[in-house]
A and B are shown apart, each in its own frame.
Chain A
Amino acid sequence: MQQLAITGGSEKPLLSLHDINMTFGGVKALKNVSFDVRPGEVHCLAGENGCGKSTLIKIITGVYRPADGASIDYDGETYSHMSPVTAQDRGIQVIWQDLALFPEMSVAENIAFQTVLGRWPKLVDYGRMRKIATDALERLGITLDVDLPLKEYAIAQRQIVAIARALVGEAKLVFMDEPTASLTQSETDHLLDIVRGLSASGVAVVFVSHRLAEVLEISSRITVLRDGALVGVYPAAGMTQSRITELMTGKTFDQQVRAKSRPDQPVVLEVKGLSRPGQFDDISLTVQRGETLGITGLLGAGRTELAQTLFGMLQPATGTITLEGKPVHFSSNRDAIKAGVAYLSEDRLSLGLIQPQSIADNLVISSLGKIVSGGFLSDERKRKLVAGWIADLGVKIGLQSDAISTLSGGNQQRIAIAKWLATDPKLLILDAPTVGVDVGARAGIFDIVAKLAETGLAIILISDEVPEVYFNADRVLHMAQGRIVGSYDPRSVPLAEIEGAVYA
């Protein structure tokens, strides 16, 4: 095991864990992990899914009890394990990814309900609740109507409500689990400001995020876990995204621009002046055979709506779509699929795959015609078709009849891609194909995409992560507020320039 001593950390840590072991049914989730947080610092906990981050947080907050021999030093006291009540009383708060809020209740109730629980008499003092809530929001520099039900507010404001609730508990140490996962860039920036404010007021924040750019921006130190073991603790200064990725996965990825110039190939898709009021406006673009066109832009730029229009799920108000020279009008996605358009949804959990159903059924659902034999579906044909794709795309599965939800994000995404390839598409639209896919598995997905392009498939790659389209597309379009505002060639433009334009 590799341990790095951080110099200059003379300050006494607020929290310090040693010899943390945790076993679930024979599987070691954590192996001799140690971890420390200094008062008022922003500390990032990084690692792939399943590396033990959540388990570690749950041990610190008393949800799990570590194996004997563990020691938890927190704010002057030593514990062999925490309990949820102790953790909370001593100012340790967690903001889970799902926020654990009550959408039907008011903002004030959401922020202050813990303070009215467990006191005698157990009556609700709404006046005090509102005051506590307003004060907490004020500390964050935010104004919300504390009487409105929480569901009236967007996810970004709910996040703030969750933070305010943590502050009410006189937090000294706040854990944030993927707090920016569903925020736009400007909302993220705002949240990061709030985190800096917390840190400046002496609250230590442990930040868990997949988005390495913001990890580097916000944190002072980074603890990396891999497979339940500590890889090391590193100062954020001087770190790069690719270095963190290497540490998290134990593999090296040297990302290279894959863009190529191609001899003139026939145009597969031509879009002219396509508009849908309020969603996108005057979009024109072309994609050639074997070309990968990247589209990036912030959340709400109209990317997904454009993709869904090309896939026939939405109908354009004006403009034309031409596929292999023929103008097309899709009245539903069935027309689009028949014409050779495939769309990998950005929402794999609820739209892309049918989670409870089997791997095999998810793979064949869009190409049932191929497994019909003598008028009936043939299990034999299904099995062969599925086996073929699983081998082609290198998917790791148990049984074909296992539920797709048993697979990892990366393997699920491969099945989702196979499902569309089985329809023999001419144009494949990939909308955020790496959402919920581990860093290590992302490269594998893009290797597949590159191979597909080689076979002549036209690909549109949509992502709000600029590096993804930059390294994997032949051309990059920048969409903002429903319009295409920039077009870049990754071979001649540096990544920073596109990022600057997109995140401006």
Chain B
Amino acid sequence: MTSFSERLKAWFGPEMAGPGLALVAVILVFGLASPQFLSAATFGSVAFQLPELGLLTLAMLLPILTGGLNLAVTFTANIAGLTLAWVLQANGGADAGAGAFALGCILAVMVGAASGVVMGLVIAFTRAHPILVSLSMMIFLRGLGEFLTRGGDVSGFPAFIGPLGHGSIAGIPIPLIVFIGCVLAWHLLLTRTKLGFNTYMIGSNLEATRYSGINTRKVIVLVYTLSGAMCAVAGIIMLARFNSVRIGHGESYLLITVLACFLGGVNPFGGFGRVIPVFVALVVLQLLSSGLNLIGANQHLATAVWGLLLVGVMVLRFAASKFKISFVRKGT
């Protein structure tokens, strides 16, 4: 009796229950409602939509685990995207070569990381609240981006970038491959590195972590730096998908990244949360919106249903913890 569920628990952690159940429920409901739901088309649309939101969610995840937040994720992504766009334009626009693209990507990641470094330094050294610091960074980047682009689109990229947004290798969309690579990297970072270990510890109690001999400032700066770099990856993928960059792209994703983390069982106060359940939560959100789309519901309704789902998960989680407590009490 214990073996299978215990092993599942050990493998996925207790955070998996919520998103796992939601996944099963969504597949069942839409699978019954619409015969086309369980098809390659659904997989395709989810696979292409998932990475943008997913990469931004990964960027949000690390700061949340330290008990912070990075509200600048979307604008960091687009500023990084703009960096790449300018490098391409400066090197011939549509005729730019692979070298320019590589250079642009490196610079984009550096710009994203730089935004994170600044936030990390301010948070680590002034102990200012991450919400305020990242909110300031968000407003700064938005203003900067609007100023530099006059609020318009930047486009005209070489054709070989297209596949990064739309292409597939062996039937698997390239953005999805990038995203899964990043998911695995984050999973490895959080479960198998000192930085990941310390991220969780800081999220639960920064002072006690410092007393244990951990350089907490360094960890915080690194966490925000990695968050910024992950935003840049999202920015590059968004550039390729839209074939343009605008500072406001994906703005509505910001709070959804936070909610995806919570749906994935991440503790809103930090210290607990895993990558894989967050990944499953993202899949659930995308399946939900694709499924609603398929049965002919309005796209805005999908967003509303996301909200309801999250409320439902919170209530269920509360009920489950109550049940567990009363069960344990009776057991002893």
Identify which of B84-92, B188-196, B273-281 touches chain A: B188-196
Q: With a 10 A CB-CB cut-off, give which of B191, B196, B213, B214 has the most chain A CB atoms.
A: B213
Contact A25 to B208, CB < 8 A, known contacts A334-B215, A361-B200, A368-B197: no
Contact of A357 among B188, B192, B200, B211 (CB under 8 A): B200
Residues of A within 8 A of B211 (CB): 313, 333, 343, 345, 351-352
> C-beta contact mask, A336-358 vs B, less than 8 Å → 1, else 0?
01000001010000111111110
Instruction: Please report the C-alpha to C-alpha distance between residue A354 and residue B271 in the assembled complex, in whole angstroms.
Output: 10
- Residue A419 lies at the interface, judged by CB distance under 8 Å to chain B: yes
Interface residues of A in 328-382 (CB under 8 A from B): 332-334, 337, 343, 345, 350-357, 361, 365-366, 368, 372, 376-377
* Contact status B188-A354, CB under 8 Å: no
Shortest C-beta distance, A470 to chain B (Å), equals 28
Instruction: Please report the C-alpha to C-alpha distance between residue A357 and residue B198 in the assembled complex, in whole angstroms.
Output: 11
> C-beta contact mask, A373-401 vs B, less than 8 Å → 1, else 0?
00011000000000000000000000000
- Residue A26 lies at the interface, judged by CB distance under 8 Å to chain B: yes
Residues of A within 8 A of B272 (CB): 356
* Contact status B197-A27, CB under 8 Å: no
Residues of A within 8 A of B58 (CB): none
Instruction: Please report the C-alpha to C-alpha distance between residue A352 and residue B208 in the assembled complex, in whole angstroms.
Output: 6
Shortest C-beta distance, B322 to chain A (Å), equals 14
B residues whose Cβ falls under 8 Å from a Cβ of A: 188, 191-194, 196-197, 200-201, 204-205, 207-215, 271-272, 329-330, 332
* Contact status A354-B208, CB under 8 Å: yes
Instruction: Please report the C-alpha to C-alpha distance between residue A423 and residue B196 in the assembled complex, in whole angstroms.
Output: 20
Residues of A within 8 A of B201 (CB): 354, 357, 361, 365
* Contact status B208-A353, CB under 8 Å: yes
* Contact status A27-B213, CB under 8 Å: no
Residues of A within 8 A of B212 (CB): 354, 365-366, 419
- Residue A24 lies at the interface, judged by CB distance under 8 Å to chain B: yes
List 18 A-B pairs, Cβ < 8 Å: A25-B332, A26-B329, A332-B215, A333-B213, A334-B215, A353-B208, A354-B201, A354-B212, A357-B204, A361-B200, A365-B212, A365-B213, A365-B214, A366-B213, A376-B192, A376-B193, A377-B193, A377-B196
Contact A25 to B329, CB < 8 A, known contacts A357-B200, A357-B271: yes
Closest-by-CB residue of A relative to B269 is A356
Residues of B within 8 A of A25 (CB): 329-330, 332
Main secondary structure of the interface of B (DSSP, over half): helix
Shortest C-beta distance, B4 to chain A (Å), equals 18
* Contact status B188-A376, CB under 8 Å: yes
Contact A26 to B193, CB < 8 A, known contacts A337-B213, A356-B272, A365-B212: no
* Contact status B194-A377, CB under 8 Å: yes
Instruction: Please report the C-alpha to C-alpha distance between residue A350 and residue B204 in the assembled complex, in whole angstroms.
Output: 10
> C-beta contact mask, A10-30 vs B, less than 8 Å → 1, else 0?
000000000000001111000
Shortest C-beta distance, A370 to chain B (Å), equals 11
Residues of B within 8 A of A332 (CB): 215
Residues of B within 8 A of A356 (CB): 204-205, 271-272
Shortest C-beta distance, B209 to chain A (Å), equals 7
Residues of B within 8 A of A24 (CB): 329
Residues of B within 8 A of A334 (CB): 213-215
* Contact status A377-B271, CB under 8 Å: no
Given contacts A351-B208, A352-B208, A377-B196, could you give 7 more A-B pairs where the C-beta distance is less than 8 Å? Answer: A333-B211, A333-B213, A352-B211, A353-B208, A365-B197, A365-B214, A376-B188
Residues of B within 8 A of A333 (CB): 210-211, 213
Contact A350 to B207, CB < 8 A, known contacts A361-B197, A361-B200: yes
Closest-by-CB residue of B relative to A337 is B213
* Contact status B205-A355, CB under 8 Å: yes
Residues of A within 8 A of B196 (CB): 377
Closest-by-CB residue of A relative to B325 is A25
Instruction: Please report the C-alpha to C-alpha distance between residue A355 and residue B271 in the assembled complex, in whole angstroms.
Output: 11
Residues of A within 8 A of B193 (CB): 376-377
Instruction: Please report the C-alpha to C-alpha distance between residue A353 and residue B212 in the assembled complex, in whole angstroms.
Output: 8
Shortest C-beta distance, A442 to chain B (Å), equals 23
Instruction: Please report the C-alpha to C-alpha distance between residue A26 and residue B327 in the assembled complex, in whole angstroms.
Output: 12
> C-beta contact mask, A389-418 vs B, less than 8 Å → 1, else 0?
000000000000000000000000000000
Shortest C-beta distance, A423 to chain B (Å), equals 8
Q: With a 10 A CB-CB cut-off, give which of B209, B211, B271, B329 has the most chain A CB atoms.
A: B211
Instruction: Please report the C-alpha to C-alpha distance between residue A352 and residue B209 in the assembled complex, in whole angstroms.
Output: 9
Interface residues of A in 409-458 (CB under 8 A from B): 419, 423
Residues of B within 8 A of A376 (CB): 188, 192-193
Instruction: Please report the C-alpha to C-alpha distance between residue A291 and residue B139 in the assembled complex, in whole angstroms.
Output: 59
Residues of B within 8 A of A357 (CB): 200-201, 204-205, 271
Closest-by-CB residue of B relative to A356 is B204
Shortest C-beta distance, A448 to chain B (Å), equals 20
Closest-by-CB residue of A relative to B270 is A356
Contact A350 to B213, CB < 8 A, known contacts A24-B329, A368-B194: no
Contact of A365 among B188, B191, B207, B209 (CB under 8 A): B209
Contact A355 to B204, CB < 8 A, known contacts A376-B192, A377-B197: yes
Interface residues of A in 94-111 (CB under 8 A from B): none
Residues of A within 8 A of B207 (CB): 350-351
Shortest C-beta distance, A244 to chain B (Å), equals 30
Residues of B within 8 A of A372 (CB): 194
Shortest C-beta distance, B193 to chain A (Å), equals 6
Residues of B within 8 A of A355 (CB): 204-205
* Contact status B213-A354, CB under 8 Å: no
Instruction: Please report the C-alpha to C-alpha distance between residue A334 and residue B211 in the assembled complex, in whole angstroms.
Output: 9
> C-beta contact mask, A47-90 vs B, less than 8 Å → 1, else 0?
00000000000000000000000000000000000000000000
Residues of A within 8 A of B210 (CB): 333
Instruction: Please report the C-alpha to C-alpha distance between residue A361 and residue B209 in the assembled complex, in whole angstroms.
Output: 11
Shortest C-beta distance, A23 to chain B (Å), equals 11
Instruction: Please report the C-alpha to C-alpha distance between residue A210 and residue B181 in the assembled complex, in whole angstroms.
Output: 56
Closest-by-CB residue of A relative to B210 is A333
Shortest C-beta distance, A435 to chain B (Å), equals 15
Instruction: Please report the C-alpha to C-alpha distance between residue A365 and residue B213 in the assembled complex, in whole angstroms.
Output: 8
Closest-by-CB residue of B relative to A419 is B212
Shortest C-beta distance, A361 to chain B (Å), equals 7
